Structure 1
Amino acid sequence: MGVVPDLDRGRRFLAAHPPPGRVLLLAVTGSHNYGFSSPDSDLDLKGIHVAPTERLLGLGRPAEAHDRLEVFDGQECDLTTNEVGRAMSLMLKGNGNMLERIFSPFQLVDTPEIPAMRVLAQGSLSQACFGHYAGYFQGMQREHTRATPRAKSLLYTYRVALTGVHLLRTGEVEAHLPTLAERYGLAEVEELIAIKAEGAEKQALTPAEDERFRAAWPRLEQMLRDAKEGSPLPERPQNRDAVERWLIDLRRHELLGA
């Protein structure tokens, strides 16, 4: 389901707005990765870059994030890359935004660091991710109820909760909502995706539709709590030392070129 993202457009946008350092990873996230994009969906580009090591040795510190948002070749492109030190710190804290970009199937650059980062990310998975997904789920519920009820924001509540449930239960980062909904028996998601696909990115819901689909929120919240209680993942990441060694080696390589 959903529209296939234009990876070439994403690469051109990156070339037009490069971050202040070598790009290690750049992925399509957002509704294209979640399986419910519309023809007018924006292109969410999230990545990781490494600042030149010299920038870390002086009095100043390089910016931790690089952001660009504009309409490019007829499509809104939203680019954010994080400096690798910040990215690894967030990963160890169970930040789902960082985990999802690392494991996204839609990668725009090919670097030798991607396999290593995926190994480190897999080894870092822990119950710490519960805070991210539970908090994000609550935040998306508030966002949905504050404005005109839309299919997109309601789909986000399902997606966030089910990604968290699946990660806590299986140790797998899966952001594709149709796959998750089928696995966890939420057949109504297919109908909700169809409503969005037949309309537009900001397709509104009728009051009856909104009430019917929101009825799943208590179940999703309970599923998250149950997944946390029964999770086989460790309470905290077990590979902090390995992540630090890799980061030091990376910075040394960037400085010395060998």
Structure 2
Amino acid sequence: MNVLLSGIVGSTAYGLATPESDVDRLGVYAAPTEQFHGLHLPIGKKASKVSTNPDVTFHEAGKWAGLALGCNPTATELAWLPDDLYETRTALGDDLIAIRGAFLSAGRVRDAYLGYAVAQFKRLESRGDGSFSADTRKRTAKHARHLYRLVSQGELLYATGHLQIRLDDPEKFRSFGERVAAGGIEEARAMLAAAEERIGRIRTPLPERPDEETVERWLHAVRAAHYSAPA
């Protein structure tokens, strides 16, 4: 597999890992260019290589680019990791980091981060009353703190054009998750409402549309570098 860029993501990257947490990894690879000229294209589900325990995901360059252009939070964070969290960096991987801002656009960031969090918090409303088992409560606390993290990261990205991966105060997110799992749904609702109100007042530096021309030039460079002429 021609890995272009890979690193440690998830709870470890955010500073939210517990002793029970796995170390999750994410990467981008390039399929041989000639494979795109045949009958069985490396696209869709075939363009992702996934394993679990721990979670390791590698997306083919074209698929990753599509996810990142949609500002998918899980895919996007790979291009914004602190340097010490990268495990593989090639020249094309460095080029990808250099153009990471080209994938961003205001509406997609708002929808992918805040919009997704709003939808997910609605799921917590039906089970976040503190009356469930200890195991379910632990899962709910984790869910809540990661959604709070998503909102915080998305708001900062929307306001500054920069995605901060490592959280300044991880304990704030842990405490929030525990309170929501214990029945603090109103606090979660208030947090979301406040974030929506603040984002509505922000003059974002993000463009209305991503810079697809820059992204496509990078992808063409990937295809050129991984093409072998038929024998």
TM-score range, shorter chain: 0.7 to 0.9
Partner secondary structure for residue 227 of structure 2 = helix
| 1:163 equivalent in alignment to 2:136 | no
Partner of 1:222: 194
Is this contact kept in 2: 1:43–1:77, CA < 8 A?
yes
Q: Higher relative contact order by CA 8 Å / sep ≥ 6: 1 or 2?
A: 2
Partner secondary structure for residue 54 of structure 2 = strand
Is this contact kept in 2: 1:48–1:87, CA < 8 A?
yes
Instruction: Mark the CA change 1:213 to 1:36 in structure 2 (over 3 Å): closer, same or farther.
Output: farther
Partner of 2:81: 104
Partner of 1:66: 49
Partner secondary structure for residue 215 of structure 1 = helix
Partner of 2:34: 54
Q: Under a length normalisation based on structure 2, what TM-score does the superposition of the two structures give?
A: 0.81
Larger displacement relative to structure 2 (95-104 or 213-222) = 213-222
Percent of aligned pairs with the same amino acid: 28
Distance in structure 2 (CA, Å) of the matches to 1:39 and 1:210 = 22
Distance in structure 2 (CA, Å) of the matches to 1:221 and 1:246 = 38
Structure 2 counterpart of 1:130, from 110, 121, 129: 110
Distance in structure 2 (CA, Å) of the matches to 1:175 and 1:156 = 12
Distance in structure 1 (CA, Å) of the matches to 2:48 and 2:75 = 13
Distance in structure 2 (CA, Å) of the matches to 1:192 and 1:240 = 35
Distance in structure 2 (CA, Å) of the matches to 1:228 and 1:53 = 43
Distance in structure 1 (CA, Å) of the matches to 2:105 and 2:17 = 29
| Residue ranges of structure 1 left out of the alignment (5+ in a row) | 1-20, 70-75, 182-188, 197-204
Q: Under a length normalisation based on structure 1, what TM-score does the superposition of the two structures give?
A: 0.73
RMSD between aligned residues: 2.6
Distance in structure 1 (CA, Å) of the matches to 2:56 and 2:200 = 32
User: Deviations 1:27-54 (Å, cap 9, x if unpaired)?
Assistant: 2111111111011101211111110111
Instruction: Mark the CA change 1:91 to 1:217 in structure 2 (over 3 Å): closer, same or farther.
Output: same
| 1:94 equivalent in alignment to 2:66 | no
| 1:176 equivalent in alignment to 2:166 | yes
